[in-house]
Each structure stands twice: as structure tokens, then as C-alpha cells.
Structure 1
Amino acid sequence: MKKPWAGLTRLRPGSVARAEDLLTACVRECAGYVAALDGETDRKRARLVASIGALVAEHTAHEPSADASFAALLEVGRRALDAGEVRLARRVADASVALRSRSKGAWRLRGQALEALGRDVDAAAAYERHLALAGGDGEDIALRLVVLNEKRAALVEAGRIEPGLGLEGRPPAVARAAMTGALRQRITERGAADPATRKLAEVYGTYSRLAERGRASDPLLGGTEPIGVGQFRQQVAGRSVCVVGNGEEVAAGGHGAEIDGYDVVVRLDSFQLHAAGTGERTDVHAVSHRCGGPAWRREVRTRLVFGEATHQWQHAVRRRLVPGAQEFVGDRTLRRPVRDPALIGESGWAADAGTGFQIVRLLDFLDVSSRIDLIGLGLPGQLRAEEQQWVTARAKGADGLRIALR
């Protein structure tokens, strides 16, 4: 049976009758969506159904308002996007553009729907049309255009590294799944140290961050910039790094001046500073989602928050991160580096590996630092037994509290 939507985008609103036909067909399509629902719906779909009901009521009113009907149509499109009904949103957007070709809201909706479908080139064209109608006023849409360009660049780079993936024009979830599969295969066949594998992991991290969060700053972060593995790699590349453990023995160890002499100083969880023993500088704070306390308030350049589950990481970032206390915060691609199949991908370690081991294993995996030393991590209670065995097996030497990993 031919769907009522067939051919809608070919209609031209050259007359009131044609516009009425187009809107009526659109309303029927939306009503058909409701009729096809089977059983209970979740909250977002319930809102979509309610918006469709409002559209039908407005369209069938005794004296319907064209403006009110059009506004209701756009609301259906927005609710469809929110509920994950992207194809319905796309059809509503196409009808909206055909009904009112100079509607900023219609072109914005069309861009959002096309972007969700992975059609970034067409989405960019829709966003540009929105900006033209808005007279250039639309900072959020201008930012979306930047994100689209960066996403496309990431996909092109991934295709260069792994020819045949065919990522362009595919929905973000499909593109990410394809890159994840390619990474797993590369790690299995070539190992994590392979330069092309590492580059693909960086590209994957960049694309994932842009697809999930874009570049818009989260007001809850107080201007903090989220970074992925590629940006963190740049922060430690060519630099000497010291990872400092916690505890009284470290505080009394007298390594303060030595620690402050490294290019990058990494501290863990609820660290405390004792100038003579621990030094005073902190460049990177690696912290578990479980950890609380005043260390979150200490000013650092970069804060990496670790959490096995996404909701754990999100809760810690939103509830514990102190605005202004850091310039950069690790994004989702850095929340569980050891077990993440798209990064290091070593699933044999315990869930929620220790904070010290997570950051040490990440630094070792990146393999770009001129020197990696661990101060106090060989002490009892700093690492789990299996983590300590890994460090001991790879250590280049040890001197008191200091273990040289590079």
C-alpha cells in the first residue's frame, strides 16, 4: 500500500489548496504513526504522541489557524527527534520546508534530522539556509556547522587508515560501531602499539565526542573544555611524567623537589600536598567516580574522571566537578581506558580498575612521554596484586619509592 507521505516533497506550496493537501497528508502520516504503536510507550514517545494529538486537533478545528497548525507540526518534528523517530522527523521537516520555505525553524529541524541520519553534507546545507534566513544570528547552529565539518574530517581520516569502512553518510551509531569493529580487529592482528591503530583510536575518540556532545561547552563545567585521547596525548607527548601515589610514606619520602621538576605531575584520587615529600605542582588529577573530598577543588590543568559505567562518569562530572578548578576534563572516551574496546581494550582486568593503574596503563599505551616514573605506587595498598605484577614486569628500574617505567 502506498504511504500517504509518498511524493510529499515534490509538492510545491503554490496555492492554498496545495498547502492544505500537503499539511493534510502530513497529519495523516503522523496519525498513522500513532495507530501503528503497539502497547505501552516510554515517556519520550508519549510526548510525541501528545504532540501529534495537538496537531490533529488544531488541523481539524472548526476554524483552524495556519500558524498554529504549522507550529504544532514543528513541535511534532522536535518530539520525534527526541524520541529517536528520526525518519518521522525527517518527513515532518521536509513537509515543513515545503509548506514554508522561509521558516527558520523548518530548516533547523531538517538539518537536525539529516544530521541524525548521518547525512552531514545535506544537514550542513540546511543549517546554512537557517543561518541565511536568520541573518547570521544563530550561534548554536554555527557551532553545529563546525561540528559537522570536524566529524566529516574524522570520518575521512578513519577511511584513510582503514579503507573500505564506508563511513560517510552513515548514522553516527553505525559509523561508531564500524570503527569499534575495525579497532578490535586491528588490536587483535597488529597489537595496540601499532601506530595506525593508535591513530584510529584517536580518530574514534574525536568522532565519538563530537557525535555525543559536540563542541558546545556544558554550563555545569564552568568553561572547562572536554578533551579526548588525542588531546590528552598531545599534553604528555615528549614530556617527562611523574605519577605520585598517596599515603604517609610518600609524604615523608622527601621527593618533593624531584617531583616538581617533572614536566607533568599526575596525582590520584583524594591526594594531599606536603611540599617536602610530595611537591606542590599538579598538572593532571586522575580520580575515580567514587572518590569525594577536597581534591576536586584543587586547581589543575586536566582532570580525568574514571568510571566503568556511563552513568557513574556522568554523575561524578556533573555533581563533583568544581567550575573553574580545571581547564580540561576527560570526556567519555577516557572514562575507562583500560577496558574500553575502542582504546586499550584489555577486558581481563577487574571492572573499575584502580585509578593509579588506569592512568599508568594509559600513559604506557600512548607511549609518547620521554620518561614515566611512579613515586610510591609500589607501596602496599597502592595497586591491586595483578596491577602491581604488571608494573613490576615492565619496570626499567627502581630506586626507593621511585619506579621507572620509561
Structure 2
Amino acid sequence: MTKTTLGRRLLGLALPGRGAGGSGTRTPAGTASAAGCLRLYEQEGAAGGELAAAAHALREVQAAHGDVTDALLALGAAALRAERTALALAAADAVLARRKGSRAAWHLRGRALEAAGDLGGAVTAFEGYLEHTPAQSAGAADTAARIAVLRADGDWRSAVLRALDGTDAPGVTALADGPFDAFEAAVTAHLAARLPVAGPEETARLAPAVALHADRRRARLRPPLADPLFGGTARLRIGEFRTLIAGRSVCLVANSQSLAESALGAQIDSYDLVVRFTSFRLDPEATGERTDIHVTDHRDPYNRDVPVSVRLVLADRAADWRHAMRERMVPGAQHFTGDDSLRRPLRGAGGLDAAAWPPGLTCGFEAVWLLDFLDVSPRLDLFGFDFFTTGPFRLAEAPAATAPAGYTRERDWILARAQHVRGPVISLR
């Protein structure tokens, strides 16, 4: 590796100030738009599954001249999971071209650049996310921690490249701008190949790189923390939750006796997403059988083992929420949980303090408020929300439910926004 080459590598690894280009990774020309993303999708080769479905959804929204923001974010997320980082980056930049303050797009851009190996660009993008995120949120804390990791990785990569300057390490040099994990593996392979056959002079030249690698290895061998992701569960920020529900019909099913006496089960299961609460009880004919989103209080231990796509745990106090997330989550029972921004939607998303809405809000109302606030579901219906006029229909071991103080205000808020009321069904969209 020549000093000129090393200089270029180190300049490429420098962490830049704010800018769309990061430290060298650029969105392909002409792709930072919905049409451009679709062209890039076709140029890179057709795909199946989730990515193909996301591309099809984007085409439909574009053809209908609708707002393509959510469809672009969904395409970018699917592209990232399919390891098509250029397409993920193009989707993020297409959103940022329309909405400079999109937290979801800044975060997607950071993840795409990190996957591509552009650590400096990823830091810049994540800093863009932080600029538009409340400092006290868990999302901000997680992202700040990620930035620290990326900076440390960038510093280590730069130090290794300096240590190997003047040595013959083509496998390492080739990956100096590539994915970090691949670069780290290349360093390990290079040292493993050279040290057994190196003479005294080469061993001395390799000693600084060996020391850096040994430090990294010792860190890898430290005992791991207890699984913080509950068997592979991922955290959803409010923007990511919005993307998940965008364009999908949603019904929220209350735990009320009025619903138990109905025959609405098949209708409930026909919605794209079914939301249930706390100690819900299922009756296929009356309540349906599917549960996609479970919204529960941090004190409520019921139904935590029921498999769902998303489980949102609510708590007024951050300490209570963290305790419930650590101690009461069942590994493998959910694909996603909400982060701190979804701990109390009225507080986190709406910025409504206790003076506006006193504590003691029901899980059902928090969920209704959140979905109404996000306003991305073409059909939003409430089943069995009879406002405690009939008895509960919930698990037998759960305590009896009573209307909390101020519940009349929750009822009035919902009914004021109702488009239709047909028996036990209230339609907000």
C-alpha cells in the first residue's frame, strides 16, 4: 500500500460535516425521486417477496399521484433488508428531497451508508436524525450510541490502515472503503496468513496492526450482555411504526361484553391489522382470532406470550417502562416493540402534558389517539368501544375493569371524530 493510496483512504474515512454526500458515497444520478428509485430497482434486477411488493406499492401510489413518502420509506427498508444498499440510499434521499426533516429518512440513510461501509456518511446521516429528534427520547439515545460506535470503528479502521502502510496487504486495501465487518475480517485473514511465515523484519512491521487487532479481539471476547432484544425483537420508532401501518386498514378491538355478544369475528379478521389490548380474550365468532398489535400497560402481565407482530408497552414513567421491557417481555413473542417515543403517544408524539391530559389514560384511548394522529390508515374502525356501559370480556384471571377518572373526556374525544356509528362499530375513517 503506497503512502499516496493510504492518504486517499484516510481522507475517505474522515467524518464529514453536514452534507448530502457523506464521505464519498453518493446517490446514483437521477435516482433521488420515486421514478428514479423505480428505474434503479429495475436496473439492479427484479426481485421477489417483500422488495417486489414494496416496488409495486410505490408504482401504484405514484400512478395515483398520491404522497409517495411512506411508499419510498417502505421500499428503502425492504431494499436494505435485501442488501441493495444503493436502492435504500436512493429511497432515503428521495424522501429527503421532499422533506428535509424526515427522521425516518435520515435514519434509513444512515443505515444504508453504514451497510455500504461509508462510516463517515453514516455518522452525518445519523446526526441529521438527531437534529430532528427530541433529545430525551430513547431513539436519540440509541442513535447517539450508534454514532459513538461508528466513530470508534472509523478510528480503528484508520489506525489499522496507518499500521499497515508500507506492507503488502491487497485484501485489506481492497476493502478499506467497503463494509466494516468485511474489512475487519480481511485484517484477521491477512495477519493469520502472514504471521506464521513472516521473518523478524516483517513481524516488526506488522506489530502495530497485531496490537490493534488484539485489542479488538479482547473486546469481542468479553462476556455478552443479557439479550436486550428479547429473541430478535426490533425496536420501532414512531416513524417506523407509521410506515408499518401506512395504507393498511386497521381495527381496534375493545374488551367489552357488547362485542362478545356479537357475531363480528369474521369482519374483524378481514382487516389488514387487528389491534387488541391488555388482557384480551378471543372468541372466533364474536371477536375474531387474529392479533397483529398488542397494546398493554407496563403493569399488566397478561397475553405477553401471545405471538404478535408489534407489542406496545405503555407507561407514564420512563423507569417503569424500562423495567417492564427488561423483565416482562417474552422472547420470540413479537417481531417489534415500540421505543420510548411510543411509551405514551399523547406525551411523546403529541407533546400533550399532564395539564392537557392527566395520567390514567386507557390503553385503548392511547392507541386510538396515536392512529388518528398518524392519519395514514384509509380505514380505521373501533369495535366494542362502548365506554364501560357493559361488562368486560377479558381473561378470567384479569381483575375487573372500571372506568378511570376522566374517561368521559376520552369518550367525547372519540365520538367527536366518529364518521359513522353502527351498533358496536365506530368508524373514524
Return the letter of the residue paired with 1:153. Answer: A
Runs of 4+ more than 6 Å apart:
145-148, 213-218
The number of residues matched between the two structures is 232
Asked if the contact 2:249/2:380 (under 8 Å) is kept, the reply is yes
Contact 1:226/1:328 (<8 A) preserved:
yes
What is the alpha-carbon distance in structure 2 between the residues aligned to residue 235 and residue 217 of structure 1? 29
Whether 1:242 and 2:248 are equivalent positions in the alignment is: no
* Post-superposition offset of 1:250: 1.7
C-alpha change, 1:226 and 1:405, in structure 2 (3 Å) is: same
In the alignment, what sits opposite 1:267? 276
2:242 aligned to which of 223, 233, 246: 233
In structure 2, distance between residues paired with 1:276 and 1:151: 52
Return the alpha-carbon distance in structure 1 between the equivalents of residues 379 and 346 of structure 2: 20
DSSP 3-state at the match of 1:275: coil
| Paired residues of 2:249 and 2:273 also in contact (CA < 8 A) | yes
2:298 is aligned to: 289
Deviation at 1:248, TM superposition (A): 2.6
CA distance 1:332–1:398, shift in 2 (3 Å): same
Secondary structure of residue in 2 paired with 1:361:
helix
Correspondence 1:153 to 2:125: yes
Q: For residue 186 of structure 1, what is the aligned residue in structure 2?
A: none
Q: Is the 8 A contact 1:155 1:207 kept in 2?
A: no
Task: Please give the alpha-carbon distance, in whole angstroms, between the structure 2 residues aligned to 1:271 and 1:300.
Answer: 13
Deviations 1:103-151 (CA, angstroms, capped at 9, x unpaired): xxxxxxxxxxxx9xxx999xx99xxxxxxxxxxxxxxxx99x9998555
In the aligned structure 2, how far is the partner of 1:355 from the partner of 1:379?
Answer: 13
Report the TM-score, using the length of structure 1 for normalisation.
Answer: 0.50
- The aligned residue for residue 36 of structure 1 is none
Using the alignment, how far apart are the partners of 1:285 and 1:357 within structure 2? 13
> Which residue, 360, 364, 385 being the options, matches 2:408?
385
RMSD (Å) for aligned C-alpha atoms: 3.7
Shift in CA distance, 120/323, structure 1 to aligned 2, threshold 3 Å = farther
CA deviations 1:287-318 (Å, max 9, x no partner) are 1112122x111000000111111111011111
2:423 alignment counterpart: 400
Q: Which residue of 1 aligns with 2:231?
A: 222
Q: Is 1:154–1:206's contact at 8 Å kept on the other side of the alignment?
A: no
The partner residue of 2:286 within 277, 286, 303 is: 277
1:308 aligns with 2:316: yes
SS in 2 for 1:349: coil
Identify the match of residue 252 of structure 1 among 250, 255, 261.
261
Counterpart secondary structure, 2:309: strand
Q: Which has the higher helix share?
A: 1
Inter-partner Cα distance in structure 2 for 1:320 and 1:281: 22
Q: 1:325 to 1:386 in 2, by over 3 A?
A: same
Once the two structures are superposed, what CA deviation does each residue of 1:234-293 show, in whole Å capped at 9, x if it has no partner? 111001100000033222221100000000100001111110111001110011112122
C-alpha change, 1:379 and 1:335, in structure 2 (3 Å) is same
Q: Determine which of 317, 335, 340 is the counterpart of 1:327.
A: 335
- How do residues 5-404 of structure 1 correspond to structure 2 at under 5 angstroms? 150=122, 152-156=124-128, 176-177=134-135, 206-211=139-144, 219-220=227-228, 221-293=230-302, 295-340=303-348, 343-347=349-353, 348-380=356-388, 384-404=407-427
Identity %: 39
Higher relative contact order (CA 8 A, sep 6+): 2
- Report if the CA contact (8 A) 1:245-1:382 is conserved: no
Alignment partner of 1:231: what SS?
helix
In 1, the alpha carbon distance for the partners of 2:307 and 2:323 equals: 20
One-letter amino acid of the structure 2 residue matched with residue 394 of structure 1: R
What is the rounded CA distance, in whole Å, between the counterparts of 2:124 and 2:386 in structure 1? Answer: 45
Instruction: Confirm or deny: 8 A CA contact 2:294 2:310 kept in the other structure.
Output: yes
Distance in 2 of aligned mates of 1:247 and 1:317:
27
Change (3 A) 1:248 1:339: same
TM-score, structure 2 as length reference: 0.48
- SS at 2:347 equivalent: coil
- In 1, the alpha carbon distance for the partners of 2:242 and 2:225 equals 21
Change (3 A) 1:300 1:157: closer
Asked if 1 retains the 8 angstrom alpha-carbon contact of 2:294 and 2:312, the reply is yes
Residues 225 and 375 of structure 1, relative CA distance in 2, 3 Å threshold: same
Which amino acid counterpart does residue 289 of structure 1 have in structure 2? H
* 8 Å Cα contact 1:255/1:276 also seen in 2: yes
- Structure 2 CA distance, aligned partners of 1:257 and 1:269? 21
State the alpha-carbon separation in 1 of the partners of residues 321 and 120 from structure 2.
26
Write the distance in 2 (CA, Å) between the matches of 1:270 and 1:148: 47
